[in-house]
Structure formats: structure tokens, C-alpha cells
Amino acid sequence: MMLEPGPELDQTVAVAVGIEGRIGDDGFARLARPNSRDYLVWSPSTDLKTAFAAAEKVGLFDPGGLTCFNGIWMVSRLSSDVTAPTCVIAEAPTPALAICEAILELKEAE
């Protein structure tokens, strides 16, 4: 699947990882702050630190799970198949997008 970074993808990832969110009037995805009516801007599709935080919420990473080969970022998981010890679950042009795609692929497989 080819994903485009932006608020719609950020909102979809928020739902996938179980975070309450919405797209604000300014067009940015926002998350509810605990015990507040305020919402924080949240953009895992463009911010790598936020993408890693989302990945942690769903237990995405194995050691060495994010790699780059010829300009394509890949997220992989360890496999029990001895002929293919790792399984690529997402590929994208940026690491943040690869992580978002992997989160959505994992949630879809559940």
C-alpha cells in the first residue's frame, strides 16, 4: 500500500494504536491530552519520534526492524521460518511512513 503523509494518515494510525484523536480546524491530527479539553498536534507520518512512540504502543519492533536499502525504508519482524528469518511487513520512502504502514498492516492482520 502506498501511503501519503498527512492528517488523515495520522488520524488512522491514532485509531489503530488506540489513541483518541481528531483532525483539528487547522488540518492537523490532534490527540486528547489527559484530563484536559486541549488537543496536541500528533504526526507519526512525518515525525520519526512520534512514529516510534506509536510503534511502541503496538509492540512493533524486533531488533534491527527498521532498515534502509537503496533509498527504501523497510520494517521487518523476526520470523520462525528458518529459510526466511525476517519478514518485511512495510516499505516506504521515509522511515516514518514505513513505520505507519507497518502499524496498519499489523492491525489489519489481527
For residues 94-109, average pLDDT: 89
pLDDT at 97 over 60: yes
C-alpha cell at 80: 520462525
Cell 507497518, residue located: 102
**pLDDT for residue 95:** 92
The domain ranges of the chain are 7-109
Q: Which CATH class is domain 7-109?
A: alpha beta
- Model confidence pLDDT, tens digit, residues 16-72: 888 776 666 666 666 655 555 666 678 889 999 889 888 888 877 765 688 899 989
Q: What is the pLDDT of residue 80?
A: 60
CA atoms within 13 Å, Cβ hemisphere of 106: 24
Which pLDDT belongs to residue 1?
61
Give pLDDT, residue 82. 58
- How confident is residue 4, by pLDDT bands cut at 50, 70 and 90? confident
% helix, strand, coil for the chain, step of 5:
30, 25, 45
